[in-house]
Amino acid sequence: MHEAARALVGWTLAADGVGGVIVETEAYADDDPASHSFRGRTRRNASMFGPPGRLYVYRSYGIHWCANVVCREEGVGAAVLLRALEPTLGLQEMRVRRGVDDPLVLCSGPGRLTQALGLAGHHDGLPLDRPPFRLLEPPEHVDVTAAPRVGITQAGDLPWRYVLTGSAFTSRPPPRAAR
């Protein structure tokens, strides 16, 4: 799961032609108290236990959709939260969906990212290797920085957040010590 979280940084993700470069992810393991899989499989988190390479999409606090990439063998609940993208495809559509013009805030945070890409509950469990998705490898090596996770109360100090080093499009910059 850590390898997947680090490896996804720099890939381009698009949903129906709208997307960008993944610049920030967060890892969640099955034995992690901050993970939705920590207490076992439920109807809500079932796709998190499915085959790798699929989306686990859920509502956060009943307000925002969040999207994760399932990344372990089937039956193990582990996923990588998509925290931020650098928008590169379909910017006008993202601006309309988000109601903002500034590209720095279009996809900088899990809720903003899903809103900009038009991701919602009906995408839960869908594979990323077929339409409406495109997932493309980075054309060259990318430099990734590990930092503490953000926005969680349990195990937030773990350096399981991975950011594209130097990116201005992350949800928040990593602490200076991590850079």
Query: How far lies 161's CA from each of 50, 77, 178, in Å?
Result: 23, 18, 11
- Structure confidence at residue 56 (pLDDT): 87
Confidence (pTM)? 0.88
Give strand pairing partners of 5. Answer: none
Do the beta carbons of residue 149 and residue 13 sit within 8 Å? no
User: What are the chain's domains?
Assistant: 2-129+140-172 (3.10.300.10)
- Of the ranges 30-34, 88-92, 167-171, which one carries the lowest mean pLDDT score? 30-34
**pLDDT higher for 21 or 27?**
21
Q: Residue 125, by phi and psi: left (phi above 0), alpha (psi -120 to 50) or beta?
A: left
Main-chain dihedrals φ then ψ at residue 2, nearest 5 degrees: -65, -40
Percentage of residues of the chain with pLDDT beyond 70: 81
Beta bridge partners of 25: 82, 162
Above 60 in pLDDT, residue 32?
yes
DSSP, res 171: S
pLDDT of residue 59: 87
Query: Does the pLDDT value for residue 153 go beyond 70?
Result: no
Which of 49-53, 71-75, 109-113, 138-142 has the least mean pLDDT?
71-75
- Contact between 109 and 171 under an 8 Å Cβ cutoff? The reply is yes
pLDDT tens digit sequence for 54-78: 998 988 877 899 999 998 766 567 7
- Cα distances (angstroms) measured from residue 98 to each of 1, 33, 41, 116: 30, 32, 32, 6
Three-state secondary structure call for residue 141: coil
- pLDDT of residue 108 exceeding 90: yes
Query: What is the rounded average pLDDT of the residues 33-50?
Result: 67
The H or E element spanning position 153 is none
pLDDT tens-digit series, residues 73-88: 665 677 899 999 999 9
Determine the Cα–Cα distance for residues 13 and 20; give it in Å rounded to an integer: 6
Position 124 scores a pLDDT of 94
Give the number of residues written for the chain. Answer: 179
How far is residue 13's CA from residue 116's CA, in Å, rounded to a whole number?
A: 12
The confidence band for 33, taking pLDDT boundaries of 50, 70 and 90, is low
